[in-house]
Structure 1
Amino acid sequence: MGVLLVAALTGVPVGMADPAGTVCRIEDDRLTEISGLVADGRGYVVVNDGVDDASGRRIFFLDRRCAVTRTVRYPSQPRDTEDLARGADGTLWVGDIGDNDRVRDTVAVWRLAPGAKRPALFRLSYPDGPHDAEALLVGADGVPVVVTKDPLTAGVYVPDGELRAGETTPLRRAGDWGIPIGTGTSNPFGIRGRAVVTGGAVSADGRRVALRTYADAFEFDAPDGDVVRAITEGEPTTLALPDEPQGESLAYSADGTALLTVSEGEGGVPLLRYPLAEPAAAAPSPSPSLSPSPAAAPAVAGGEGRRLPLQPVIAALGLLAIAGMGGLVIARRRRSHG
């Protein structure tokens, strides 16, 4: 099905942008399972999703040439770190939210305040049983938002209360997002790769938010900084990310003119740049992720989202192609971490 026909049938506009270009290559042997990415004026920050190799269980800071300049260790071993986000104050959030086998009683986020030497751990629990998730967002209110990897319809969850170290904060399902799977974008997993969310990003000014699958990125306007409402009520623009080997990372460039991605892999993984037709606002300078500022506990995100219904053609495609798949787990190089 052609992309323009899909746009006409689903109502999802297609982003008109130039093909991706390589910004730099990540050569460090410790970075072979990159799952989270953010950008700032000085370079990039990445995390792995693997926990088997102790050398990879860190937050990695890279310069503009993708060379590692420093790392930050976790004070204890994470379970499955799947995404990375940055708050408006420069705080970094690591989403320890992966659960391939759906056996975790709790998931977690790690918060690294600007200037801090170690991240703090905050545990979270779903109200409706375990979910696998690979996308973490932080809006203008500083609240971490988890978007699940459930096929076809991703759940959008927010903390139902203040995060407290040493305690478990319940999550609240704030809405859903029906994934437009009919884009036809080529990817290693076929239609299954277009059916699950594998990463997310928020622009520096908090007014744009994007989610990705293995095949495409979907960008939403969030003029008031409410990323939950943008996702659950908004109409996204689609940007194809074709044939990435295992695309799980997504970030806005520091100047807001492009989306950046990087796949898992070895031997010089390229960091790719996809220009945006309508650039987001640039990140403030100097880089907020490296500048000291006080860390504030996030407030509870407000407002219940509504579910976006899948268009009949999307539902039909999904049922035919994904029937019997249950909880989707794409074949992966790494071992399951539970």
Structure 2
Amino acid sequence: MVASDDGYVVINDGADDEARRRIFFLDQRCAVVRTVSFPSRPRDTEDLAIGRDGTIWVADIGDNDRSRPTVGVWRLAPGAKQPVLHRMTYPDRPHDAEALLLDASGRPLIITKGGSGTVFLYAPTTALRADATTPLTALGQVTLPTTTTSNPFSFLGRGVITGAASAPDGRRVALRSYADAFEYDVPDGDVVRALTTGTARVTPLPDEPQGESITYSRDGRSLLTVSESAGQPSGTRSTILRYPATATTATAAPLTESAAPALSTLARPIAEDTTGLGGWTWPLAAGAGVLLVLLGLAGVLRWRHTARR
């Protein structure tokens, strides 16, 4: 999920249902105002980013088995009817990744999911082309701060990155795990240097069921998160949570009608299923889609979400 000037842009995470394999545009009240289909089937969409010119980038970078020969980003230019796929390949080996950022020039940066508190940054070596596979290059690594924040995956959940976001003014970026958000200052526009050499401010995101989505509010004052609904009791409604941006000891609280009426509607059923979202306003992106997660030990250790394909 990303916030836009008109409302929000959301995707499902690796949806098997064709009707849910779309980019959804919501208004300020979170009603679906239009959808954009993919021209071919995405493999595993995991995150969203929005460029300064309004271009929407969809990160098709999930790879639970670490076996994909290529990953991709879908680029939806303002006014375009369909996104264009740009394929990329890692220089070393396949990686599972769930986070995407844009640098000051609009170049996409992939942040791997990791697993032990260290994640890696990759970016295209040349300008992306729709008719070619672009090599990626490694740009460095990020060592995540150590925390004790409670989450469903215990210490494992604190050492992976499941989403990323840029502040509207570009002067801050945030990475998130299943447990925390890590904010970095980007005073000179160099996102890579900020992540690899900067000091993160930690905002705990305690006990989110499976937090894989994060975005900044349009005023940059809040971090907004949402969990996947998979594995939750039948009929559970996903709730967007607000945390103060740049805080060190934030406490999550569900948004209320008085605090943010546009966001609270995300957990409300719609009258008619005309959205392809299964009868609910489920704007779940960057890992906030509809999956079935089997929380067996082997699955947790490999950070696999089964039933995506």
TM-score (norm 1): 0.72
Amino acid corresponding to residue 89 of structure 2 in structure 1: S
Higher relative contact order, chain-length normalized (CA < 8 Å, sep 6+):
1
Would the alpha carbon gap of residues 106 and 328 (structure 1) be closer, same or farther in structure 2, given more than 3 Å must change?
farther
Q: In the TM superposition, what whole-angstrom CA distance separates every residue of 1:170-225 from its partner, at most 9, and x where no partner exists?
A: 00000000122x31111111111101000000111211111000000000000122
Identity of aligned residues (%): 60
Shift of residue 106, structure 1, vs aligned partner: 0.1
CA contact (8 A) 1:252 1:259 kept: yes
CA contact (8 A) 1:51 1:77 kept: no
SS of residue matched to 1:140? coil
Amino acid corresponding to residue 142 of structure 2 in structure 1: W
**Aligned equivalents of 1:167 and 1:143: distance in 2?**
16
In the alignment of these two chains, the number of paired residues is 254
SS of residue matched to 2:193? helix
1:261 aligns with 2:225: yes
Amino acid corresponding to residue 136 of structure 2 in structure 1: L
Residue pairs, 1:88-127, within 5 angstroms? 88-127=52-91
1:174 paired residue number: 139
2:285 paired residue number: none
1:329 aligns with 2:263: no
Note the residue ranges of structure 2 that are not aligned, 5 or more in a row: 230-234, 248-296
1:158 aligns with 2:107: no
1:313 paired residue number: none
Residue pairs, 1:23-62, within 5 angstroms? 37-62=1-26
Shift of residue 64, structure 1, vs aligned partner: 2.4
**Aligned equivalents of 1:52 and 1:222: distance in 2?**
37
CA contact (8 A) 2:24 2:35 kept: yes
Shift of residue 226, structure 1, vs aligned partner: 1.5
1:8 paired residue number: none
Shift of residue 113, structure 1, vs aligned partner: 0.8
Q: In the TM superposition, what whole-angstrom CA distance separates every residue of 1:105-125 from its partner, at most 9, and x where no partner exists?
A: 000000011111110100000
CA contact (8 A) 2:61 2:73 kept: yes
1:190 paired residue number: 154
SS of residue matched to 1:231? helix
Note the residue ranges of structure 1 that are not aligned, 5 or more in a row: 1-36, 279-323
Identify the match of residue 271 of structure 1 among 240, 252, 255: 240
**Aligned equivalents of 2:301 and 2:173: distance in 1?**
24
Amino acid corresponding to residue 268 of structure 1 in structure 2: R
1:216 paired residue number: 180
1:24 paired residue number: none
**Aligned equivalents of 1:249 and 1:130: distance in 2?**
23
**Aligned equivalents of 2:236 and 2:174: distance in 1?**
28
CA contact (8 A) 2:16 2:308 kept: no
**Aligned equivalents of 1:276 and 1:227: distance in 2?**
18
CA contact (8 A) 1:136 1:199 kept: yes
Amino acid corresponding to residue 274 of structure 1 in structure 2: Y
1:303 paired residue number: none
Q: In the TM superposition, what whole-angstrom CA distance separates every residue of 1:225-260 from its partner, at most 9, and x where no partner exists?
A: 221111011111000111111111111101111011
Shift of residue 66, structure 1, vs aligned partner: 2.4
SS of residue matched to 2:194? helix
